[in-house]
Every structure is written in structure tokens, then in C-alpha cells.
Copies of this chain bind each other. A is one copy, B any other.
Amino acid sequence: MDSSSGSSGSTPPPAVCLVSGGMDSAVTLAEARAAGFACHALSFRYGQRAVCELEAARRVAESLGALQHRVVDVDLSALGGSALTTGGAGADAIEVPKDRAAEEIGKGVPVTYVPARNTVFLAVALGWAEVLGASDLFLGVNAVDYSGYPDCRPAFLRAFEELASVATAAGAERGARFRVHAPLLEMSKARIVERAFELGVDLSLTHTCYDPVEAGGRTLACGCCDACLLRLAGFEQAGRRDPVEYAPRSR
């Protein structure tokens, strides 16, 4: 789970980097490159409401020098259970919470939790890592702001590393040890904003909002869902201005 250097040999070792289009995974990809890895970016079309995330992921992967960017379809919306994948209408719809206080956001398992999402994403990343001959996975999880998500915790990442070593031909036959790097795990949102500036990440390319607003042909962040509130607080604490556009009422 450390982000130790991969640059010991002459050829940069390959790594699979999960890129959602958000700020955290963009900074994680930049950390992987800075650590000397040749990065293969992976995104998912998983039934999320905010499909513009994928366009942001493509821009982020390209701007940060990923060797390639693949989008894999995993239709988690077929299983139900989260405000992020159930539609906005109909009896099963779960509303994205708005304007919650900061101390409320981190508590318990939120309705935006998608059951086993990071387990599914890491499993697919592991499959691609096997094909590429990579044994390093990068994931932009953060234990500070998302303490309510069980699959963002160190115990989860360690258990996945154990699983990977017995789940794969590389691990079971050739003794490969997989590492799940989560360089942002212990960073505050303000620190993540600072790292983005230090690593030259163009945050105007990222998309964070759970519930974006379409206005005049542009996609604006709502500014009041949990993800927007945490992002905005991070910029404020870092003393920086967020370059993405927000819907009028929120600023």
C-alpha cells in the first residue's frame, strides 16, 4: 500500500491505475508516474449517474501521460442498492444527499456507497494486471473523508493484496506479490489539492460532483452533494481556487 518507487530498473515497471475522472484518482495517477511507473489507466462504466466522469477520466489519463486508457463495462446498477447507480425517478430511486454538514459526511455508511464497488474495480484491475504482467495497482481511496466506506480502509487494501497473491497465475504459480498502492490514503482533502499543484495536475480537467447540472450546454458541478462539499472545503483549506464551474446557487 506504500507508493514506493517502481523505477529501479531501466524499463519503467507497468502499473494499473484506476482513474474515475475525479480529483483523487487524478492525483493518484500523478503519484504513480512520479514514482516511476508506466501507467495503464482503467475506468468503469458501472451505471453511475454521472457519465461525464468518463470523459473527465479520458482527459485526465491523456494529460498525465498514461500509456493507454481502457473503459470496462460493469453494470452494477443491475444490483440496485445505491444512490449513485439508481436512477432519479421511480420507486427504487435513492436521493443523493445535499448540503450536509462536514461532520455528518464521514459518519456511517452513506447512501452513495455502491456495494462492493472497489472490490469489483480492483478485481478487474487485477485481471488486466495479469494480462500486462503488472503487479502494482493504484487506487485513489482516502480514509480521512470517506471513513464511512468500508472498501476505502487499510484493512480492505491489505486483504485484497492477500487475495491477489492466490487468485492469479502470476501469484499462485510464480510467487508474484501484488501491491495495492493508495498514496492518498492518509491525506486530507487540502493536502490532496496541494499535491495536485506540486505534481502539475490540471484540476480543471477533473469531475467530482455526484449530481451535476446541465446548463447552456455545459456540465456544472452542483456544489452541494457530499463530494462537492468535501472538494470545496479542501480548496478553501489549501487557499486555492477550484477551477471547475459550479451551478450558480452554490457559490
Contact = CB atoms under 8 A, between A and B. Distances in A.
Interface of A: 70-76, 78-81, 108-109, 113-120, 122-124, 126-128, 130-131, 150-151, 153, 155-156, 159-160, 162-164, 166-169, 171-173
Contacts of A113: 169
Q: Is the interface of A mostly helix, strand, loop or mixed?
A: helix
A113 B151 CA distance: 27
Contact of A155 (B108, B153, B166): B166
Contact of A128 (B109, B115, B122, B156): B115
Q: How many copies does the complex hold?
A: 2
Top 6 nearest A-B pairs (CB, nearest first) are A116-B127, A150-B172, A81-B131, A115-B130, A115-B127, A119-B123
B126 A115 contact: yes
A30 to B, nearest CB: 24
8 contacts: A70-B78, A73-B74, A74-B74, A79-B127, A109-B169, A115-B127, A115-B168, A120-B120
Contacts of A150: 166-169, 171-173
Given A80-B131, A115-B126, A168-B115, A73 B70 contact: no
Contacts of A156: 163, 166-167, 172
